[in-house]
Amino acid sequence: MILIADGGSTKTEWVVTENGKEIQRILTKGMNPYLQSEDDISAEVKTVLLPELKASTLDALYFYGAGCAPQFIPMMQQTFEKAFENVKKVEVYSDMLGACRGLSGKNPGIVCIIGTGSNSCYYDGEAIVTNVSPLGFILGDDGSGSALGKQLVGDLLKNQMPEGLKEKFLEQHDLTAPVIIERVYRQPFPNRFLAGFAPFIYQNLNVPEVRALALNGFKSFLNRNVKQYDYHQNKVHFVGSIAFYFQELLQEAIKDCGMQMGTILKSPMDGLIEYHA
C-alpha cells in the first residue's frame, strides 16, 4: 500500500493506492517549502491528513511538491519521516517531475504546469533535461492564477478596465482597495489570495479586456518559457487548474505561437497512480 501526494501552493491531493487501485483520496492545504516552514507543513500533516488517513501502515510515500527544489528535499523528507513513523520508504520530488510522470509517463515531451504558479520543462521520458526557472510569484509564474490575478487587480484599481467592472469585482469579493493592499503586502500567501480571482476572470471572459488579459498571460508564458525548448518537434502538455479551465484560450495561444497542443489535465494524479503501479 502506497501514498502518493501532488502538492501545490494552494492544495495538496493525497491518494492511498494498493496494487494500482485507489483506496482513499484526501485534500489538505498546499505544502510549499519556499513559502512555509517545516513546522507549518508538519502541523498540516498531523492535524489534517493523519486523522483522515485510514491506512495504518504504508510501504512507501511519494510526494511531488511545488517548491521542492533540491535544497528543500532533505527538509521535506525528514518532515514526512517524522510524521509517518510506520512508512518504509519516503521519496520527495518536484511537482514538475510529478507532472512529467503523470502526463507523459515514459514518453518524451514538453510538460508545463499552470495553476497557482507556473513551470515548464523538457522531459526525455525518464528525467527532466531542461528547465527554464519559473522564478516564483514575484519575478515569474507567467500565465498562472497568481499572475493573472495580480494583473487583474492592478488593472481594476488603476481604472484600466471597463466602467463598472471594478465595482462588480469589489462587491462580489467583499473587498476594498486598502484591504487588497493589506492582503498582498502584509499577510502571508499573497499568491494564493491573487490566484483566488481566477474564477472572476473566467466568469468575465465575455469582456474583451478581460479575455485579452488572460490570452496575453498565456502567450507570455509560452514566449518566455516554452520557446526555449524544441517546440517544433515536441507537443506541449499541460497540467493544473488554470490550464484545465482556460484550455480554450490556452489552445488559441498555442496556435498563435506556432506550437502543437498535447494533453491537458487538471491533475497528474491518475497518471501518477498508473506510473507507480
Q: What is the DSSP string of 80-141?
A: HHHH-TT-S-EEEEEHHHHHHHHHTTTS-EEEEEESSSEEEEEE-SSSEEE-----HHHH--
Nearest one of 189, 239, 141, 150 to 40, comparing CA atoms? 189
Residue 205 domain flag: no
> What is the CATH classification number for the domain harbouring 91?
3.30.420.40
Tell me which amino acid residue 234 is: N
Which tens digits make up the pLDDT trace of 162-210? Answer: 999 999 999 999 999 999 999 999 998 899 899 999 999 999 999 999 9
How many C-beta atoms surround the C-beta of residue 208 within 10 A? 9
Domain count, the chain: 1
pLDDT of residue 186: 94
Residue 157 domain flag: no
Residue 213 domain flag: no
pLDDT of residue 150: 96
Nearest one of 111, 184, 109, 113 to 151, comparing CA atoms? 184
* Count, residues in the chain: 277
pLDDT of residue 188: 86
Which residues of the chain fall short of a pLDDT of 50? Answer: none
Strands 109-114 and 118-123: antiparallel
- CA angle (218 as vertex; 214, 222 as ends), nearest 5: 165
Structural domain of residue 8, as residue ranges?
A: 2-99+270-276
Q: Which residues contact 92 (CB under 8 A, 6 or more apart)?
A: 63, 64, 65, 68, 73, 76, 77, 80
Residue 11 domain flag: yes
Residue 91 domain flag: yes
120 strand-pairing partners = 112
pLDDT of residue 105: 83
Residue 120 domain flag: no
Residue 212 domain flag: no
**How many angstroms separate the Cα of 252 from the Cα of each of 39, 122, 141, 231, 259?**
43, 22, 20, 16, 10
Q: How far is residue 116 CA from its own chain's centroid?
A: 5
Which tens digits make up the pLDDT trace of 236-268? Answer: 999 999 999 999 999 999 999 999 999 999 989
